[in-house]
Amino acid sequence: MDIAKFTERSRGFLQAAQTIAIRDFNQQLTPEHLLKAMLDDEEGAASSLIRAAGGAPDAVRAANEQALAKLPKVQGGGAGQPSATPDLVRVLDAAEQGAQKAGDSFVAQDRLLVAIAASDSPAGRALKENGATPDALDKAIATIRKGRTVTSENAEANFDALKKYARD
């Protein structure tokens, strides 16, 4: 896995996930932390994608919060930088492979979300059980992207630019 192949937004979500893990005294960085970082984003791209795939973002958030609450907490001398779990490493690898398969030069946040949904982690189950399956997310991505690929670190900003800034 090459972090340089991730878009600025994707790298930002990984940093936010690490911050969440540290704040919650979790020694391990999990797909649940990454999903929380994506769902907490003020632009709401992950929630919009889940909704477009026929899922329920609020239900996904609630299920993911329950999973996060069950993670062990370490305070004091043993607490430090959290390390990525094998589940998270598999998610990141799957996202990178999914991006390559789609013809993307960089791993965008939508590919991270699909990889989380395809995983067997509690975050993956939260997505699938609330209507955001990997297939449904892929179809929603195809609709949103309209055939465009991610060719730069900032390509995600262009996908919904018209919806964001144009008026009918």
Low-confidence residues of the chain: pLDDT under 70:
77-79, 155-168
Q: Distance (Å, rounded) from C-alpha 120 to C-alpha 116?
A: 8
What range defines the domain where residue 17 resides? 3-147
Count of Cβ atoms closer than 10 Å to residue 49 Cβ: 22
pLDDT value, residue 162: 43
Task: Indicate which CATH number applies to the domain containing 55.
Answer: 1.10.1780.10
pLDDT digits (tens, 9 = 90+) for 121-138: 999 999 999 999 999 999
Considering the domain boundaries, does residue 157 fall inside one? no
Cβ 121 vs Cβ 32: under 8 Å: yes
Number of domains the chain contains? 1
Q: What's the predicted TM-score (pTM) here?
A: 0.89
pLDDT value, residue 144: 84
Considering the domain boundaries, does residue 110 fall inside one? yes
Considering the domain boundaries, does residue 142 fall inside one? yes
Considering the domain boundaries, does residue 121 fall inside one? yes
The DSSP-derived string for 28-93 is EE-HHHHHHHHHT-TT-HHHHHHHHTT--HHHHHHHHHHHHHTS----GGG--S-EE-HHHHHHHH
pLDDT value, residue 75: 80
pLDDT value, residue 79: 60
From 62, 117, 123, 72, select the one nearest 95 (Cα to Cα): 117
